[in-house]
Chain A
């Protein structure tokens, strides 16, 4: 085996070390690279922007758990900031038991930032188990599934919820999720009740939902940390999303360099020693 061939057998722990360095470096030297806005993000932004102030509330379903916080939390914050800055009322709920604390924290933080009043400008409905049952139930009457808000106030006593019965009075519902919950919203809220659904998903789920954007089953979508960064750029409020994109750039380039170098080594070593081909089968 020649030197190039040996490179292909390199201990993968060197790659791990390189990744670790790459993720830590931008923490020390921020770069602040520019962000381009994509259509699904612009669409979602426009949909939120079109909601009349102090009217029917924007619903945000915080359907993620702590494992996807780095990608989805910045989205929640950016959308909440957008809504509150335009005096749009917000109702937050969660279909993930682990999302309760996350939803509450994000909502209270941004509401305090804009001096918003609970029950007048925003409401936290809390968690209900049984995803499809909740989504379907909200189509009949929100009060059936959320008889009271997270702190025990009956919905009938919450001023901003007056007249809000089901999806017909919800101009837009945004689900933020790292799982297939998005599909539940599409199948059980959009399909039967024609609810307008927007989504914020992890980068990995995003490709899955492109067909739904195309068919109009989703109004718009934020994909991964970049989606959050784009939204932050649209509302002109840079935060964790934009910051994280620097680390992202470095690691993406590193992986591409690894692929390129790996292929050069592979073809170089094969010319001289053709028998080294094999090992892991290609697709």
Chain B
């Protein structure tokens, strides 16, 4: 009995425990559920410590090293490593009700920083590029491409109209919004149908694991 076999057997039993949930909630599922919540919470705690806190704070501040390079105590790099450490520590202020509000300083930087970061790339990739992709020539209606382009433009305009919030969906606007919802529903149906495959793939993968890797019967 080697470690690989023990590991595979453990994994297989846990796999079956999870599948038992399809029948109904039961002690085996509860065991697997609590185990994986604990294990994964521990996993992320450790991984984030070693991937971020250690290299950006602990190593430079206490061991005076960034990557392989030595830094000076009290030098610019040292102070720059201390700041995220202090920001991280003030997050813990929330455990002390009297100074709990200090943790908002760190949250402010976090929330603000990420908010700002998104604006321009979103404008580029989600708005401008999509406008470019959406502005298509709609001549040549005697060909398939002409009609396709017309549908693409109309569908896009309809979908945009559906998301108009500050006007009542009546008249032309209502008509366009209606076209929009038709396109949206067809799109959602397509996504649903398209997804079935990847979900079944996962099931095939698990069955492969049970039958091939564990039981070795196929």
Interface residues of A (CB under 8 A from B): 13, 16, 19, 23-24, 27-28, 67-71, 97, 129, 183, 186-187, 191, 202-204, 206-207, 211, 214-215, 217, 223-226, 244, 247-248, 251-252, 255, 283
Interface of B toward A, CB cutoff 8 Å: 22-23, 47, 51-52, 121, 124-125, 129-130, 132-133, 185, 187-188, 190-191, 194-205, 207-208, 211, 218
Residue on B with the closest CB to A27?
A: B218
Q: Is the beta-carbon distance between B196 and A225 smaller than 8 angstroms?
A: no
Q: Verify A248–B200 contact, CB threshold 8 A.
A: yes
Task: Tell me whether A215 and B204 are in contact (CB under 8 A).
Answer: no
Taking CB as reference atom, which chain B residue is nearest A216? B133
Contact A13 B22, CB 8 Å, known A24-B207, A70-B208, A129-B51 = yes
The answer to whether B125 and A183 have CB atoms under 8 Å apart is: yes
Q: Are A214 and B133 in contact (CB under 8 A)?
A: yes
CA distance A186 to B202 in the complex (A): 26
With a cutoff of 8 Å between Cβ atoms, the chain A residues found around residue B194 in the complex are: 203-204, 206-207, 223-224
Contact indicator B197/A225 (Cβ below 8 Å): yes
In the complex where A13-B23, A204-B195 touch, is A70 in contact with B204 (Cβ < 8 A)?
Answer: yes
**What are the 8 A-B residue pairs with the smallest beta carbon separation, nearest first?**
A70-B205, A203-B198, A204-B195, A203-B197, A202-B198, A70-B201, A225-B201, A71-B201
Number of A-B residue pairs, CB cutoff 8 Å, is: 89
Once A129-B51, A252-B196 are accepted as A-B contacts, the answer to whether A27 and B207 lie under 8 Å apart by CB is: yes
CA distance in complex: A283, B203 (Å): 28
Residue of A nearest to B51 (CB): A129
What are 17 sample pairs from A and B whose C-beta atoms fall under 8 A apart?
A19-B203, A24-B207, A27-B211, A70-B201, A71-B198, A71-B202, A97-B47, A129-B52, A187-B125, A203-B194, A203-B196, A206-B194, A207-B191, A207-B194, A252-B196, A255-B196, A283-B188
- Besides A207-B187, A214-B133, 11 more A-B contacts (Cβ < 8 Å) are A13-B23, A27-B218, A70-B201, A97-B47, A204-B191, A207-B190, A224-B197, A225-B198, A225-B204, A248-B200, A251-B200
Q: A225 contacts which chain B residues (CB < 8 A)?
A: 197-198, 201, 204
Closest Cβ–Cβ distance, residue B143 to chain A (whole Å): 18
The closest CB in chain B to the CB of A204 belongs to B195
Given contacts A13-B22, A211-B130, contact A224 B51 (CB under 8 A): no
Q: Which of A16, A23, A217, A252 contacts B197 (CB 8 A)?
A: A252
Distance (whole angstroms) from the CB of A36 to the closest CB of chain B: 15
A247 touches which of B22, B130, B200 (Cβ 8 Å): B200
Q: How far is the CA of A245 from the CA of B152 in the complex (A)?
A: 31
* Distance to closest chain B CB from A3 (angstroms): 26
* Neighbouring A residues of B124 by C-beta, 8 Å: 187, 191
Q: Which residues of B contact A16 (CB under 8 A)?
A: 22
Asked if B133 contacts A211 (CB within 8 A), the reply is yes
Residues on A with beta carbons closer than 8 Å to the beta carbon of B125: 183, 186-187, 191
Residue of B nearest to A127 (CB): B51
Partner of A69, one of B187, B188, B205: B205
Q: How far is the CA of A174 from the CA of B129 in the complex (A)?
A: 21
If the complex has contacts A27-B207, A215-B132, A215-B133, are A204 and B198 also in contact, measured as CB distance less than 8 A? yes
Closest to B124 in A: A191
Nearest residue (CB) in B for A282 is: B185
Tell which of A23, A223, A255 touches B204, judged by Cβ atoms closer than 8 Å.
A23
Residues on B with C-beta less than 8 A from A191 are: 121, 124-125
Query: How far does the alpha carbon of A244 sit from the alpha carbon of B204 in the complex, in Å?
Result: 7
Q: A residues within 8 A CB of B191?
A: 204, 207
CB-defined contacts of A24 to chain B, threshold 8 Å: 207
Residues of B contacting A70 with CB < 8 Å? 201-202, 204-205, 208
Look across to chain B and name the residue whose beta carbon is closest to the beta carbon of A241: B201
Residues in chain A near residue B195, CB distance under 8 A: 203-204
Neighbouring B residues of A97 by C-beta, 8 Å: 47, 51
Bound Cα distance A251, B197 (Å): 9
Complex formed: what's the CA distance from A27 to B125 in Å?
43
Task: Name the one of B121, B129, B201 contacting A203, with C-beta atoms under 8 angstroms.
Answer: B201
- Evaluate contact between B201 and A244: CB separation under 8 angstroms: yes
The answer to whether A226 and B51 touch (CB under 8 A), given A13-B22, A16-B22, A67-B202, is: no
